Chain A
């Protein structure tokens, strides 16, 4: 049961353009969403998060949008840079006393930014 899905395994964009990575979820109990970036042989690096009480959060070149009715979120990177080339994971949590912020991850999207 894949509760968080990233339907695009890969995305290729030109340097300077916008990168849009998408993520869908099925569990309506999720109330906190995060994006992580991962390079080969390294651990995921936290990028940006959003609470379900918001529909947008921005941090520098990164913006996350949340559409609760569609159970969809997206990460926008603008302008894209070659150093952004990595695998991007969407993650979600439903906070509870015993689950804490246990994260459910999507399968990841490989972003390639071409110079």
Chain B
């Protein structure tokens, strides 16, 4: 029973490029959450999605960031025109129901040159 799978584990981009982070939730889980962890800080909520729907994107910057969770395939967090401040660990979590504990992937470490 595979856990939450994130790829890539490490991603290096130059300023101005695009970053695409992928997350496959645990089998049977239809609730997906993205969090960001800056150095020396706790995790900060970004966006909550169910299949094909964005439920809550209040933690996601209005510009350059977008997320999707299509009917088929993984959830994608997309960052356009990356800047140095986007360097962080991005974690995806999934849950069976919205009021159940979330299970996390091992994250994608994004580094911006």
Contact = CB atoms under 8 A, between A and B. Distances in A.
Question: How big is the A interface, by class?
Answer: 20 to 34
A98 B48 CA distance: 9
Nearest to A32: B99
Interface stretch (B14-22, B37-45, B67-75): B37-45
Contact of A100 (B41, B56, B59): B56
Contact of A43 (B48, B55, B105): B105
Interface stretch (A10-18, A44-52, A65-73): A44-52
Interface residues of chain A: helix, strand, loop or mixed (majority):
loop
B1 interface: no
Contact of A103 (B102, B106, B107): B102
Contacts, number: 64
B31 to A, nearest CB: 6
B24 interface: no
B104 A100 contact: no
B91 A44 contact: yes
4 closest residue pairs by CB, A with B? A43-B104, A100-B98, A105-B42, A105-B43
Given A95-B98, A100-B55, A105-B35, 12 more contacts: A4-B42, A43-B93, A44-B43, A44-B91, A49-B101, A89-B42, A89-B43, A98-B56, A102-B45, A103-B102, A104-B45, A105-B42
